[in-house]
Structure 1
Amino acid sequence: MEKNLTTPYMDMVTSKMHIMDAQKHFGRLRDMLAEWSNDSGDLVNGSALLFPDFPPKKDHIYDKLYEKSSDETEVAALLSIILTGLLAVVERQLADQLPGGKFYNVDDRVRKETQSMPLHNLSSENLFARLDRLQKNMPNANTVTMEGIILWSHNKTYAYLNSLELKEKDALIQKARQKSPQILKAYRERKEMIRNKYREQLQEKQKQKLAKDRRTAERKDKIVDDISSQEGACKSREELELNIVNMTEKETFSYLQAQIRYQKNIHGIKKGTEKLDYQFQHKGKRFTAEQLKQNLVKILECENGHDQEATPITPANPEKKEEKLTALKRKLTDKIGNQRKQRKQ
């Protein structure tokens, strides 16, 4: 992937190319991904060529990658899935530059307006990389200092000052010194304002957390009180059967709800159970008392360690693995088809 896709693509976007001329490369990228997602043989045997103008760089790592291996069949299957996913991303994110997009085959006016538009965001990434390095090398420096260093380097201020007459250069330096206290004052005021705002937000979050914790505690207290009025929580199926034997249907329903609510909020959802086991309805339909009883019995059995034994780990079945890969690829292909339909509408 790195040798045949990533590096050639980055070589293309970092070249001195007009952004509108990159459309033919975007189109070829889409076409080659579509071809390789169906048959990734060229990527596996090393004969793939994404962009003729930007061939892959062949070195000792490249040669090592394309030595004969017994895993080529499995690699080809995995590549097919990955490339199908990449195809979906490319068709979605480059839709405006592909045939039918609003920036495909634009007129000369648009080409002129976009003449200085870069093909990448490496410039901004470079600035943040410099900032990250300065923060590590100068942990006590303030933001104004780091901004000045970055701008001095990025704008080539040193070379600009040396190109000026001595008198003009001294005047600019003197002006910068005079403005320094004013800039630092504005920086400190801004920093204090941001700090106060952050402090207010933190206090509000703490207030909300305390209120939420108080509500949770009150709810749990009420649940425990309800259970205490029913002579405590059930421990087993036998105890449950004994407690509800003389209850009416309405009393049984309320009793089961209280018991399930106690198990969920006090003990939490247990291993071997599902979230649905702790609910009182599903898809708008309320559970019957018998259904609630079955769910509570399941919860109690898991509580008492009677849940099902863990299924032993067995080696993956090659046929099932292939079926899963095929299903995943079909899902990605359907997604691509839906994206194409949406663009046509």
Structure 2
Amino acid sequence: MFDVREPLYVACVRALGLIDKVITGPLWRVIEAAPNCLSLNTHLLQLKIALENWSKDAAPFLEGECVFEEMVAPITRDCVNDALFTPTDDPVIETYTQMALEVSFGAMLIILERQAKDQLPGGKYWHLDQTTTEHLANVPTTNTVSERDFAQLDILMKAKPAAAACTYESIILWTNNKTSKWLDSLEDDVRADILDQARTNAPCLRKKIQERQFKLFQAKVQVLKEKQEKKEKKAEKAYINKVMLTKELEDLGGLWMTSDDMMNFKQKCLSSCDKIDTVRYNKAVVTQILFRKNVLNCKGPRQIFQTTQIKGKHLTISDLEENLKQIMVLNADFEEGNAIEKKLTYKDPDQVKSSVVSLKENLFSKIETGRKKIIVQQQKDLLPTFLENPENMVGKNIKHKLKDPETGVVEWSKGKVVEIFKPHQNPTKVEYNICYDEYPDELWHFNIIKDMQNGDLILC
């Protein structure tokens, strides 16, 4: 009942339901109806465009906008669909639903562009000649055939629990390959010869299967044994570490419950100018942090439990003090033994919006980075054309990855290859004159085929 009363959980579940009704459900019906995998290219492009638009603003999606045409992939408009699209009259739920959808669409877009890159524009299966299309006409759209095999296996294992794995395999192959029908189509003498040969070879095949199963079993036992030994060593090491930390903590005066305890211990250590006391205080702060991390399993961001450095920056004693104070604050209720009320804490709407915007920016950055990687790989497939004849590069519109020597900033600059500046017998050493959009009155010369090999140049 706690989850049902929380607007955040309700909004996220509603978002998942809407995605199923409008995107994944219709997409599965499209996939099932498609004659082969290549016929999905257009539908995947439609999905990509829709996800890209909705990841920026999901309002049209909530208003009923669809990915596919109703004739191609009808939406199941039942009572569940009506309930999902009916406004809740709760601005918090509506806001969180739209935010959850936009973040989900961004993540889905990343996966789609990565997994279906070959079937989207620019991919090797986007536009094919007639011969290749006919050659790939029987590529299935799903793995339901394999799923069906596992369904048969599940039924057989329930019906014949004592049967061997080779028995299950034989029955499934016999059924799927229609072996009995093939035998019935043979002449009597041919069929008799085949059956006699099968009976003769059966004992030898069974022995080979048993030997193979024994080897697999032994390998599995060895893997499990090594895994168990590794687990035991890790547990033993953790136990020793906990014992050592507990002993060190006792020697240093025990666990500090508040920042006042820390300051009191600091005053004792710094009351004299003896260097040993300062070292003792530093050691005490590190031990307090490690004890809370490894023994008490305190909660908190990962970086506040670091004791040496973060991202190459060495931590000072002041940094460690602040981290320890933060750990104490985050775990105050647990350390004092207070009961924790089971309730979510909601941030200010502006703060939530800012966090979602930041998250979406990170997603869009990942999308752009992924797209560039895909495009770079696609461009490398065109490289042999320019290695064979460098003249083919002249007149091409390009995006060139350049680094400013003064600021060190790396940017992709658009331009056009004007002519060959310096020919060379080795195509990778040919230099070209390039006119960049930012400097239309200037010509720059670079060895761009080499840059293309390194992924620093893209054809537009």
- Normalization by structure 2: what TM-score? 0.60
| Worse-superposed segment, 96-105 or 107-116 | 107-116
Is residue 140 from structure 1 mapped to residue 166 from structure 2 by the alignment?
no
Mapped pair 1:182 → 2:210? no
- Partner Cα separation in structure 1 for residue 337 and residue 58 of structure 2: 46
Hey, what's the Cα distance between the residues in 2 that align with 1:147 and 1:192?
A: 17
Q: Is the 8 A contact 1:37 1:84 kept in 2?
A: yes
Q: Name the counterpart of 2:141.
A: 119
TM-superposed deviation, 1:61: 4.2
Asked if structure 2 preserves the Cα contact closer than 8 Å seen for 1:25 and 1:51, the reply is no
Opposite residue 264 of structure 1, the aligned amino acid is L
- Bigger drift between 253-262 and 95-104 goes to 253-262
What is the rounded CA distance, in whole Å, between the counterparts of 1:262 and 1:39 in structure 2?
47
- Counterpart pick for 2:30 among 6, 12, 15: 12
Q: Which of 331, 334, 339 does residue 365 from structure 2 map onto? A: 334
Partner of 1:249: 275
2:428 alignment partner in structure 1: none
SS of the residue 1:145 aligns to: helix
Higher helix share: 1
Task: Please say if residues 37 and 140 of structure 2, whose CA atoms lie closer than 8 Å, have aligned partners that are also in contact.
Answer: yes
Q: List aligned pairs for 1:1-345, cutoff 5 A.
A: 1-15=19-33, 17-38=35-56, 40=58, 43-46=61-64, 48=66, 50-51=68-69, 54-58=72-76, 60-61=78-79, 64-65=82-83, 68-70=86-88, 73-74=94-95, 75-216=97-238, 230=251, 233=254, 236-237=261-262, 238=264, 241-242=267-268, 245-246=271-272, 248-254=274-280, 256-257=282-283, 260-261=286-287, 264-265=290-291, 267-270=295-298, 276=304, 279-284=307-312, 286-288=314-316, 305=335, 314-315=345-346, 317-344=348-375, 345=458
Q: Say which SS state the counterpart of residue 101 (structure 2) adopts.
A: helix
CA shift at 1:147, angstroms? Answer: 0.8
CA 1:257–1:143: 2 relative to 1, 3 Å: same
| 2:304–2:327 CA contact under 8 A, matched in 1 | no
Q: Name the count of aligned residue pairs.
A: 344
Relative distance call for 1:137 and 1:44 in structure 2 (3 A) is farther
The structure whose residues are more often strand, as a share, is 2
Amino acid corresponding to residue 155 of structure 1 in structure 2:
N
Q: Could you list the runs of 5+ residues in structure 1 that have no partner in the other structure?
A: none
| Superposed CA offset, 1:250-309 (max 9, x none) | 443145326733762573454579763561444555555566567678878979957999
C-alpha displacement at 1:93, in angstroms?
Answer: 1.8
Instruction: Assess, with a 3 A threshold, how the Cα gap between structure 1 residues 81 and 159 changes in structure 2: closer, same or farther.
Output: same
Q: Is the 8 A contact 1:252 1:289 kept in 2?
A: no
Change (3 A) 1:174 1:227: same
How big is the alpha-carbon RMSD for the aligned residues of Structure 1 and Structure 2?
4.2
| TM-score normalised by L of structure 1 | 0.76
CA spacing shift, 1:176–1:216, aligned 2, 3 Å: same
Greater Cα shift, 21-30 or 60-69: 60-69
CA contact (8 A) 2:248 2:287 kept: no
Partner Cα distance (1:291, 1:84) in 2 = 36
**Cα distance in 2 between the residues matched to 1:186 and 1:261:** 59
CA distance in 1: counterparts of 2:354 and 2:72, whole angstroms: 37
Name whichever of 36-45 and 201-210 sits farther off: 36-45
The answer to which of 152-161 and 204-213 deviates more is 204-213
Checking the alignment, whether the CA contact within 8 Å between 1:85 and 1:332 is kept in structure 2 is yes
Shift of 1:100: 1.5
Residues 203, 241 of structure 1: alpha-carbon distance in 2 compared, 3 angstrom cutoff: same
In structure 1, distance between residues paired with 2:145 and 2:87: 40
Task: State the distance in 2 between where 1:129 and 1:123 align.
Answer: 10
Q: Percent identity?
A: 25
Amino acid at match of 2:369: N
* Counterpart residue type for residue 22 of structure 2: N
